[in-house]
Amino acid sequence: MKALKKSGLTKKEIVQAYREVVRGRRLDERLWQLTRIGKTSFNISGQGAEVAQVAMAMAFDHEKDYFLPYYRDMTACLVWGMSTKDILLGSFGKDADPSSHGRQMPNHYGSKEHNIVSFASTVSTQMPLATGVAYAAQLEGSDDVTLTTTGEGSANQGEVQEAMNFAGVKKLPVIFVVENNAYAISTPIDEQYANEKMSDRAHGYGFEGIRVDGNDFTEVYLAFKKAVKDARDKKGPKLIELMVSRLTSHSADDDQTIYRSKEEIEDMKNRDPLNFMEKQLLDEGYLTQAEMDKIDEEIRAEVDAATDEAEAMPDPAPESLLEEVYAK
């Protein structure tokens, strides 16, 4: 693991990064609880990828860059500017939900205000859209960079090849990310693809691909910092493979103990990125245990308050059914 100091970020920024990791974890735990008690319909979570997502998102300019996420990217969306309450409004399907006014499934993040582009449940369809957003930036002569993410199973969809090929041909300012958590629902990677590293595929499209350890905050941050700079300098796309864990079942609708052994699940829990980051913060003298406990307490209170506020908001009116779906 690279030292946090090597990221070049200030102490304040690193502590903020930790807050975002904790926010992502505690909010996701709340979303599971709400599903289990029947208050929401579904949850799919990024537990195990929070450190990677925070380090990734921090490398972008959230005032101008575009983000086309996939369903596990809640923590990245928080860093990009969405609030805890915004996320909860989406899960409750409320009218004020910024992602879709309650039209989308939970975890289908979008925010016009923050340049986060809503996506379909058909996996990886955000990839060619991201290529299109980056093509528009190039044609308009702006230096905006586009980020898009998917899972390693979804990366085998045909449109991912089209998206990367065209981005390579036009040297577009787009960064493709594969969050490799070793499973596509219950299918392990050796039944998904035959190449060794997902990131190697980039060479076939004429650009650089790199694989990074998603538990290593500094490594992930520096990889994205460089990719963003290169994209802004018109050097073209990158593919970044983030090695992460999926600490939960695929979604609220399955049970991973049926297809993963007890030992495997235990081993993965020992590699929980939240614990890794806390150890680093302690060892490198950024925060004491008492300070981390205080942050955790504050975040829990924020999640509780946002849950109550979001739940109290009105549902979409039935007569508005056909509104907010297509642009006028």
Ligand X SMILES: Cc1ncc(C[n+]2csc(CCOP(=O)(O)OP(=O)(O)O)c2C)c(N)n1
**Taking CB under 6 A as the rule, does residue 239 contact ligand X?**
no
Q: Report, in Å, the least distance between residue 183 CB and ligand X.
A: 5
Q: Report, in Å, the least distance between residue 265 CB and ligand X.
A: 15
**Residue 91's binding partner, choosing from ligand X, Mg ion, none, with beta-carbon cut-off 5 to 8 A by kind?**
none
**Taking CB under 6 A as the rule, does residue 264 contact ligand X?**
no
Q: Report, in Å, the least distance between residue 194 CB and ligand X.
A: 16
Q: How many CB atoms are located within 10 Å of the residue 9 CB?
A: 19
Q: How far is CA 175 from the centre of its chain?
A: 13
Between residues 106 and 153, which has the closer beta carbon with respect to Mg ion? 153
> How far lies 278's CA from each of 63, 127, 274, in Å?
29, 33, 6
Q: How far is CA 229 from the centre of its chain?
A: 20
Strands (E), 140-282: 146-151, 174-180, 183-184, 187-188, 208-213, 238-243
In one letter, which amino acid is 86?
A: D
Binder among 18, 67, 119, 183 for ligand X (CB under 6 A): 183
Q: Which helix (H) or strand (E) holds 66?
A: strand 66-68
**Residue 144's binding partner, choosing from Mg ion, ligand X, none, with beta-carbon cut-off 5 to 8 A by kind?**
none
**Taking CB under 6 A as the rule, does residue 216 contact ligand X?**
no
Between residues 188 and 285, which has the closer beta carbon with respect to ligand X? 188
Binder among 68, 87, 123, 242 for ligand X (CB under 6 A): 123
Q: Report, in Å, the least distance between residue 128 CB and ligand X.
A: 13
How far is 153 from 1, CA to CA, in rounded Å?
27
- Exposed e or buried b per residue across 259-278, where buried means at least 16 C-beta atoms within 10 angstroms of its C-beta: ebeeeeeeebeeebbbebbb
Chain residues binding ligand X by CB under 6 A are 72, 121-123, 150-154, 179, 181, 183-185, 246, 250
